[in-house]
Every structure is written in C-alpha cells, then in structure tokens.
Amino acid sequence: MKRWLIAAFMAVMLLGGCGGSTPKVAKLAAADVVLAFGDSLTYGTGAKAEESYPAVLSRLLGRSVVRAGVPGEQTAGGLQRLPGALDEHQPRLVIVCLGGNDMLRKGSREATEANLRAMLKEIRGRGLDAVLVGVPAPGLITSTPDFYEKLAREFGIPYEGKVVTSVLYKPELKSDPIHPNADGYRRMAEAIAKLLRDAGAV
C-alpha cells in the first residue's frame, strides 16, 4: 500500500511539473534581432504600423523586432518565404504566428501542422530559438487547435496559445471580425513579452 501511495505521489509531482515551466531560450544581446513572422496578425492589419504587435514588442523588450507579416498568407506560403526572411534579417529568435488563413479557407489541419513543423525545423536547424503563437479556428465558440501546443512540446519551445483567442473574443479589442485593433495588438505584445521574459530571453 505504501509503495502505491509513493508511486501515486511521484506521478502527481511529475504531471504537475509538465507544462508548468516555460522552456528556456538564449538571452538576447542588445543588438540581437527578433523576427516576428506571420500573416495579417503580425503585419498589424486594423492598426497603424507603430501599433502592430511587433512594433509594441520592440519597445517593451528594448530589442529590434522585424515585422515580417504578409496579410492573407497561409502556412504553405510562409514555409516558402521563411528561408529568405531568415537570410535577410539574421535573427537570433523567431516568433511564428501562422495558420489562421489556412483555417479560414478550410484547409487541411494536417497540412497546416506539417507546414508549421517544417518551419520550426528550418529555424531550429539553423541554431535559432523559436516561439510559437497559436491562433483560434473560426467560429462563434472556438479555441486554439491542439496541434499548436503539440508542436511546441515537440520542439521544446515557448508557446503562447491564449492571447489571440482572448483578444478576438472582445469586441472592444477588434478592428473587424478577425483582426485586433491597436489595444488588441498591445495585449498580444504584452503577452509575448511576458513569455519571453519567463523564457529568459530578456
């Protein structure tokens, strides 16, 4: 009986530790570049350029954050574009926020997951740190698909899976049904900044 209790206690402790701590990344030097890579959510559709989440994040972190967002882009296009963006900007850390347009166009979730996995492999294969931001599937009552968290666990990288859904549920934080306004992008930037601090980036 005592052995069973000990085993149960250890199992609870192990489970409690899973997901409780943010995976670590290398500390960013003052001159290091962060690449914010994605679609319209990264571009900042619905707000001014200086109100986009990468611009706000740059001010919060005191680091250069490149706004590499292409409105309307799906993960297949992002996968093709990524190597050139990495070559051009030479980042130390890459924030990936893609997949919403795949879901809006009712694309295969398996293909979306595969494309995101290939992007993360490209980033990690170059010895760079990555952060993944999940986006919700379209719908009145929705949540972020579980493949985002699955990929973050697979690669052992920091993951923010709540803020975009939270913002898009609040009319006062949106410029239209699928895009934040300036206040919404600020919420995104604050959540990602907190994640990066928890991960040891700054």
Q: Is 40 a catalytic residue?
A: yes
Read off the amino acid at residue 152.
A
Query: Which of these is catalytic: 39, 40, 52, 58?
Result: 40
β partners of residue 130: 94
Judge whether 179 counts as a catalytic residue.
yes
- Name the H helices within the chain: 2-17, 40-43, 53-61, 75-89, 100-104, 109-125, 146-155, 163-168, 182-198
Cβ contact 62:196 at 8 Å: no
Instruction: Find tokens 């928890």 and name the residue.
Output: 198
Read off the tokens for 30.
């003052």
CB-count burial class (<10 Å; 0-12, 13-18, 19+) for 154: exposed
Catalytic residue among 52, 58, 102, 179: 179
Determine whether 166 is exposed, middle or buried from the number of CB atoms within 10 Å of its CB (0-12, 13-18, 19+).
Answer: middle
Q: Angle at Cα 195 formed by Cα 192 and Cα 200, nearest 5°? A: 125
Bridge partners, 40 (sequence order)? none
Q: Which residues carry out catalysis? A: 40, 176, 179
